[in-house]
Amino acid sequence: MQVRRARQTSRLDEVTAFYRDGLGLPVIDRFVDHDGYSGVMLDLPGTGAHLEFTSTADVVPPVPHVEDLLVLYVGDADEVLRLVARSGASPVASANPYWDRVGVTITDPDGFRIVLVGSSWPG
């Protein structure tokens, strides 16, 4: 089985730059005006999973929720600090205090939360 997590955005260029340049996720594919949708797919290295962000005029993007988390286990605390700085995002408090104990939570340009954990899974 393979996994791709897809999400609609009205800020495709900003979101792409955040995940590609800020978090270092490689772009593996792009498409423009495919049945009214444009998008980008990014690899989550070492997982076999991908993130896909799409944009269209026909669908309203989802609204972020404080418990809707993308958790990335990045290996060590130094890498967490490096990614936070590189992303340009300011840390935010997590609704669940567990995530503040094990990592740092930031938000992407759409306001969705990413938890960067300084260990490997299982942590």
DSSP for the chain reads: --EEEEEE-S-HHHHHHIIIIIS-PPEEEEEEEETTEEEEEEEETTTTEEEEEEE-TTSPPPPP-TT-EEEEE-SSHHHHHHHHHHHTPPPB--SSHHHHHHEEEEE-TTS-EEEEESSPSP-
Domains of the chain by residue range: 1-56, 64-123
Q: Is the fold of 1-56 the same as that of 64-123? A: yes
* Angle CA 56–61–62, to nearest 5: 155
Q: What is the mean pLDDT of residues 68-90?
A: 97
pTM over 0.85: yes
Could you tell me which residues are beta bridge partners of residue 49?
3, 44
Q: Does residue 123 carry a pLDDT above 60?
A: no
Residue 121 — pLDDT band, cuts 50, 70, 90? confident
pLDDT tens profile 91-115: 999 999 999 999 999 999 999 999 9
* Degrees, nearest 5: CA angle 47-114-65: 120
Q: Identify the CATH homologous superfamily for domain 64-123.
A: 2,3-Dihydroxybiphenyl 1,2-Dioxygenase, domain 1 (3.10.180.10)
Q: Is the pLDDT of residue 9 over 70?
A: yes
Class of 1-56 in CATH: alpha beta
Percent of the chain with pLDDT over 90: 93
pLDDT on residue 122? 79
Residues 55-81 have a mean pLDDT of 95
